[in-house]
Structure 1
Amino acid sequence: MKSDKILILGSCGQIGVELTLALRTQYGNDAVIATDIKEEHSLLKGTGPFYQVDVMDINAVLALVKKEQITQIYLLAALLSATGEKMPLKAWDINMTSLLQVLEMSVQEKIAKVYWPSSIAVFGSSTPKQATPQKTIVEPETVYGISKYAGENWCQYYTKRYGLDVRSIRYPGLISWKSLPGGGTTDYAVDIYLQALAQKKYTCFLSEHTYLPMMYMDDAIRATIELMEAPAERLSTRLAYNISAMSFSPKEIAASIQKHIPDFSIDYAPDFRQQIADGWPQSIDDRLAQEDWNWKAAFDLEKMTATMLENLAK
């Protein structure tokens, strides 16, 4: 396993930065090749190889795969939910074309494993809101969700048709102090900590009782690596796994902050992102991930709030 050579496409995004660092810790700095269309993220500088590559330029990606003798690919580059609604055709093009090109190249180059993230955005308002099952009604209502569900099916297709080992997780909202969010509907749950420390007040773009599934980034990174290291024969789905950690509303995260910053205040000004959030689950059933690869979250809301405030205050 440790002789793997890993390529990360989109290493400077919210997930990419921390996943790159975690994989370098596990596999060695030189075994993990980071790339992004953007310049190298400050947290990645000096930690291992980095190339500025556009994921849509599949010839450049292919050249890198050959040069570095890549065995695993993590395709993280995407336009997220809120950004995608502003430019739906571009979001579809980037999210789908990049995936299909990487899947096709991975078959040709005999890549051992591919990771591609999905999202709770695959679910729509027709999906059961509480304890959303692994197998359920899937009718996404955003271009991001549509592209993610289409992508899940393409990943499953390439596994079944060509024997390509593709793995995926439906991430909930992800919260981190290391890397800033990039145009998602759950971004408020990062921004609220920053504003609590800077101004002791926050105006939330979702209403106070909007419950959404969330996860601290350390858990999401660990889940990703644990899934990728799980024996293939243990995996009973080749769509994407539900994973869960916690669900809370803006009112509840504000209350958790007030335990540390008593004079913090919040008000609410819902915008177009409210409609996106209203179509998503409020909590997730992740029993399949627990059964197949022993998934278990470590962070709840109180532990996450304490960790976020402690690190952002430095």
Structure 2
Amino acid sequence: MNPKILIIGACGQIGSELTYKLRSLYGDKNVIASDISYTNLDIVNSGIFEIVDAQDYESVKVCVEKYRIDTVYLMAAMLSATGEKYPMQAWDLNMNSLFHVLNLAKAKFIKKVFWPSSIAIFGSTTPKDNTPQYTIVEPSTVYGITKQTGERWCEYYHKKYAVDVRSLRYPGIISWKTLPGGGTTDYAVDIYHKAVTEKKYECFLKEDTELPMMFMDDAIKATVDIMSSDKADIKIRSSYNLSAISFTPKDVAQSIKAFIPDFEITYKPDSRQEIADSWPKSIDDSQARQDWNWKHKFSLEDITKEMLMQLNEKYKES
């Protein structure tokens, strides 16, 4: 029997593409999209959509009961760079929304929860290369602090109340379908837009800033894979390391030049450089590969080819 799914934060970068994927797998009537406003009309008009305030327990509970939801994907969050501008709002949104969903699961209103963590939980004291699953975790941003705290609560609710909560530490994610959303790794999305529209890009990170990255299709695949795995196979209930490839802005620029030879890049590091410097260069996700057979598909060349092709079509149409 298909699950009855609620996606909270369905209008966001990951939430929107996750909505389409889950609807293709389980049917439009079984996947309810929700957000705080009608910010993505494609999502609003593509199936059942509800206004849900992730910070309001009753708002979430009413939607869960209305549609007899058994699985919640909590994708609503304030990201790293935006969170540094509005620290208390970031804390309130990221933490309150998680507690509401965990408490609904504890009270048996729902059976299964997906909550995304991030490489932002790591800090300057974390080993930079091939960062292990279990290591020093001292985040330097409010976003990272909320994700670190959330991981502890997820594991606690699983051990204390048997809540089936599953989580991934997303790296930077690249997609052509949605615009950059305020994250430190969003240069790797914006650079492709500027390559297509202007053939030049001013990067807010240094050219040699290496970070773990992933194409959206791989991120969605990982999310679906972990949620469809047997409960017994999910050994980690805080959050799994997740990885695909690592690269620098210079690497991306060179891959773009293979398709657009006159593309130019300049560098003007801003406050996001300090955030990026506190994050790992590469991630060891062997635990995910071992426990539930995670495998990524897209290389940097694959990503660049797909991004440029899709964005060229997108801008032609507009």
The 1-side partners of 2:61 and 2:109 are apart by 12
Alpha carbons of 1:40 and 1:202: their partners in 2 closer, same or farther (altered >3 Å)? closer
The 2-side partners of 1:3 and 1:201 are apart by 47
Partner secondary structure for residue 266 of structure 1: strand
Which residue of structure 2 lines up, in the alignment, with residue 256 of structure 1? 255
Which residue of structure 2 lines up, in the alignment, with residue 152 of structure 1? 151
Amino acid at match of 2:74: L
Contact 1:40 1:50 in 2 (8 A): no
Contact 1:234 1:293 in 2 (8 A): yes
Which residue of structure 2 lines up, in the alignment, with residue 202 of structure 1? 201
The 2-side partners of 1:241 and 1:43 are apart by 31
Q: After the TM superposition, which residues 152-301 of structure 1 pair with which residues of structure 2 at under 5 Å, given as runs?
A: 152-301=151-300
Partner secondary structure for residue 150 of structure 2: helix
Amino acid at match of 1:22: K
| Distance apart, 1:45 and its partner CA | 4.2
Partner secondary structure for residue 256 of structure 1: helix
The 1-side partners of 2:88 and 2:41 are apart by 31
The 2-side partners of 1:49 and 1:171 are apart by 27
In the TM superposition, what whole-angstrom CA distance separates every residue of 1:17-72 from its partner, at most 9, and x where no partner exists? 00000000001011000000120523324431001221112111111111100000
The 2-side partners of 1:252 and 1:46 are apart by 38
The 1-side partners of 2:73 and 2:197 are apart by 35
| Distance apart, 1:110 and its partner CA | 3.8
TM-score relative to the length of structure 2: 0.97
Alpha carbons of 1:40 and 1:268: their partners in 2 closer, same or farther (altered >3 Å)? closer
Contact 2:33 2:44 in 1 (8 A): no
Q: How many equivalent pairs are there?
A: 313
**Aligned Cα RMSD in Å?**
0.9
The 2-side partners of 1:94 and 1:171 are apart by 18
Contact 2:38 2:44 in 1 (8 A): no
The 1-side partners of 2:155 and 2:39 are apart by 32
1:78 aligned onto 2:62: no
Which residue of structure 1 lines up, in the alignment, with residue 92 of structure 2? 93
In the TM superposition, what whole-angstrom CA distance separates every residue of 1:183-237 from its partner, at most 9, and x where no partner exists? 1000000000000011100000000000000000000000000000111111111
Structure 1 gaps, min length 5:
none
Which residue of structure 2 lines up, in the alignment, with residue 5 of structure 1? 4
Alpha carbons of 1:98 and 1:20: their partners in 2 closer, same or farther (altered >3 Å)? same
TM-score relative to the length of structure 1: 0.98
Which residue of structure 2 lines up, in the alignment, with residue 24 of structure 1? 23
Q: After the TM superposition, which residues 136-151 of structure 1 pair with which residues of structure 2 at under 5 Å, given as runs?
A: 136-151=135-150
The 1-side partners of 2:43 and 2:83 are apart by 26
Amino acid at match of 1:194: H
Partner secondary structure for residue 10 of structure 2: coil
Partner secondary structure for residue 283 of structure 2: coil
| Distance apart, 1:108 and its partner CA | 1.2
The 1-side partners of 2:37 and 2:206 are apart by 33
Contact 2:174 2:188 in 1 (8 A): yes
Which residue of structure 2 lines up, in the alignment, with residue 303 of structure 1? 302
Amino acid at match of 1:33: I
1:114 aligned onto 2:113: yes
